[in-house]
Chains A and B, each alone.
Chain A
Amino acid sequence: MPAKEVHHVVTRPGRLHGDPDYDIPVPEDLVTTPGIRKNDEDVSFYTRVYPLESQNIEKAADREWVWTVYTPEVFEYREEHDKANKPLVDAAAVSGEIEPTGTPEPGKDMTETLRLRARELGFGEVGFTRFDRHYAYTSKRKWIKYEHAICLALEQDYCQTQTIPSLDAEYAHFGTYEIEGAMALRLAAYIRELGYRAQVHSPNDNSAAYIPMFVEAGLGQLGANGQLLSPHFGSRARLMLITTDAPVTYDEPIDYGIHEFCQKCQVCVNRCPGRALVKEKVWWRGVEKNKLIYDRCRPVMATYEGCAVCMKVCPVQRYGMKPVMERYVETGEILGKGTDNLEGYELRDKGYFGPGELPKFERSFFDFPHGRKDEWLFHQFKEKLQNEDASAEDVDEFVTSLQKILAESQTTRGDE
């Protein structure tokens, strides 16, 4: 007799186009709400008073710093990737200006036509929702043109991802961006052939926080690791959007049982090398979530090939949501929890860490530049003044550096 009563079964398309449907049982004790618990008034308040901005701007100081802690191999690969990816990001940036090449069919809803084409191209998850401007970045608000969002997730290579953290896994991470950037441009061209406009929101030049829209489109729920957990590959996917004026019908958010599941599982929280994940959910900008501690995450991520241990050790990523939920229904247990197979990982120069074992870091390991570049420069200069060891040359250098930063254009492009 199963340990848990099944409350509902979620049926989703198979992992690959043409695969049979995929049924996920959601037990009674994991049911919370379709999508995520949120307070719309609070979301609006925070958007109005504390609007979101791209981390590539808000945290530009550490985006520059990471290059100084990369291994030579990662440094070289990032340079190669950025060069290869630039034409795709450039093309996405102007994609919303391109006129349609075809004539629309009056009155036809385009949802399933576009979903089918996206799946044929290879996107693993495809959903439709309103582009929610609450989550738009300030610097991108005027750039965003169309109101309907097509949410697109491309699965990242399975085998390479299981080697996290490693250079091989970074090939999968950044390589997936390059593939999906090209795929989205093709999908946008197809939308124009159908007579509509399409704007590609690059995964490397994000216009907004994308996960809330993926949740609203029913493609997954927010996991304790701060990532979208979708049915087939958990967070082992790269997310991007196309916005369009094509007439579409929005999908609905779904309760996959992930919120309560993550509270019971906690493998990512327990295994995070930097202790950056937090067990308890908090209300953050009007949404109830497990809020990651950025300052504990970023140094580990930068130093150890993108880290992503939280992705690797998630049972939904490793086994898929169906066997994980089936196991929970049957026994009340979390598949893989407590085993070397799911929880073990190696960190370069530190060795292997099995279940219950975590690496140790010096306190200074977590010292890194914060905020925008000008904010960090000012912070450093203030410290010098407080220590009364700022010379006239230091003042000149501060002014010169500040002028240089202010002369640079801010960019939303980067290593999301």
Chain B
Amino acid sequence: MPAFKKEHIDALFDEIESHYKEKPEREQLHRDAHLAIALHDAGRDLPDSIDDRVAALIAKHKPD
């Protein structure tokens, strides 16, 4: 499974920032996104504890 490269990571976090920059959940989404990318890169399924919005962004931005 190809790992997230800089362009994928930037695109994912740009999207979080564009929607949640001023929202209270922003920090938790950042935390979840970093962990989710690491688990994806390690070939693991995402646990239920990862926010659904982050899971959707992983699916959208993951490298082909």
Contacts and interface: CB of A to CB of B under 8 A. Distances in A.
A159 B32 CA distance: 11
A252 interface: no
A158 interface: yes
Interface residues of A, number: 20
B30 A340 contact: no
A162 interface: yes
B55 interface: no
B30 A339 contact: no
A283 interface: no
Contacts of B4: 339-341
A340 B9 contact: yes
Interface residues of B, number: 16
Task: Say whether chain B's binding surface is mostly helix, strand, loop, or mixed.
Answer: helix
B34 A318 contact: yes
Contacts of A157: 27
B35 A319 contact: yes
Interface string B16-47: 00000000001100110011011101100000
Given A336-B41, A340-B9, A323 B3 contact: no
B42 A162 contact: no
A352 B41 contact: no
Nearest to B38: A336
A339 B38 contact: yes
B42 A327 contact: yes
A289 to B, nearest CB: 27
Greatest chain B CB density within 10 A among A331, A333, A341, A354 is at A341
B42 A323 contact: no
Contact of A335 (B26, B27, B38): B38
B41 A158 contact: no
A122 interface: no
A352 B33 CA distance: 21
Contacts of A341: 3-4, 9, 34, 37-38, 41
A404 B42 CA distance: 59
B50 to A, nearest CB: 11
A340 B4 CA distance: 7
A336 B5 CA distance: 12
A200 interface: no
Contacts of A352: 6
A267 to B, nearest CB: 12
A340 B34 CA distance: 11
Given A339-B3, A340-B9, A319 B38 contact: yes
A1 to B, nearest CB: 16
A333 B39 CA distance: 11
B27 A158 contact: yes
B35 A323 contact: yes
B17 to A, nearest CB: 9
A344 interface: yes
A178 B58 CA distance: 36
A126 to B, nearest CB: 22
Interface string A120-153: 0000000000000000000000000000000000
B5 A340 contact: yes
A66 to B, nearest CB: 30
B7 to A, nearest CB: 9
Contacts of B35: 319, 323
Interface string A339-354: 1111010000000101
A339 B41 contact: yes
A352 B4 CA distance: 15
Contacts of B3: 339-341
B46 to A, nearest CB: 12
B2 to A, nearest CB: 11
B61 to A, nearest CB: 12
5 contacts: A319-B34, A336-B41, A339-B41, A341-B34, A341-B38
Interface of B: 3-6, 9, 26-27, 30-31, 34-35, 37-39, 41-42
